[in-house]
Structure 1
Amino acid sequence: MLMHNPPHPGEIIKEFCLDPLNLSVTEASKALGVSRKTLSAVLNGRAGISPEMAIRLSIAFNTSSESWLMQQTQYDLWHAEQHRNELHVKKLVAA
């Protein structure tokens, strides 16, 4: 079952990982081994969580990489479902 309008994983990172540790984007990006631009794009919802970023987050914050990918999948799927009626797909059934 899809969560209703799930937050972008970047919001979760900011609110539950960076803010409690009082980390700046610059500090967090250095710790994660990514550029400030890359992390900023994720935090601001302009980029998604890749498998590699999920692993980086899991190491840095002692979480599972699967949980980060699942959050991204839920976010992407919910937004795609909002355009379901715009897709021109025919049902295929066995004769």
Structure 2
Amino acid sequence: MQMHNPPHPGEILRELCLDPLGLSVTDTAKALGVSRKTLSGILDGKAGISPEMAVRLSIAFDTSAESWLNQQMQYDLWQAEQHRNELKVERLSAA
């Protein structure tokens, strides 16, 4: 079942992981082995969570990589559905 207007996973990351642990973006990026710019893009909702980042997050926060990818997929799908009527697609059927 698709969630109504799910939050970007970066928002979840900030609210459930960084803030409660008092982690800065710089310290978290260093621990994840990524640049501050990379992590900031995710936290700001300007970049998505890749499979590799999902694995990094799962290691760092003892979560599953699948949960991070599922959040990203739900967010992306909801965003795409908002533009369904703008897509130029023909319905196909058997002859």
1: CA distance, partners of 2:39 / 2:88: 36
Cα root mean square deviation, aligned: 0.4
- Whichever residue aligns with residue 46 of structure 2, its letter is R
2: CA distance, partners of 1:46 / 1:82: 18
Q: Which residue of 1 aligns with 2:85?
A: 85
Give % identity.
77
Unaligned runs of 5+ in 1: none
1: CA distance, partners of 2:14 / 2:94: 48
- Whichever residue aligns with residue 5 of structure 2, its letter is N
CA deviation after TM superposition for structure 1 residue 2, in Å: 1.0
Unaligned runs of 5+ in 2: none
Give the number of equivalent residue pairs.
95
Q: Which residue of 1 aligns with 2:43?
A: 43
- Whichever residue aligns with residue 59 of structure 1, its letter is I
Using the size of structure 2 for normalisation, the TM-score is 0.99
Q: Which residue of 2 aligns with 1:19?
A: 19
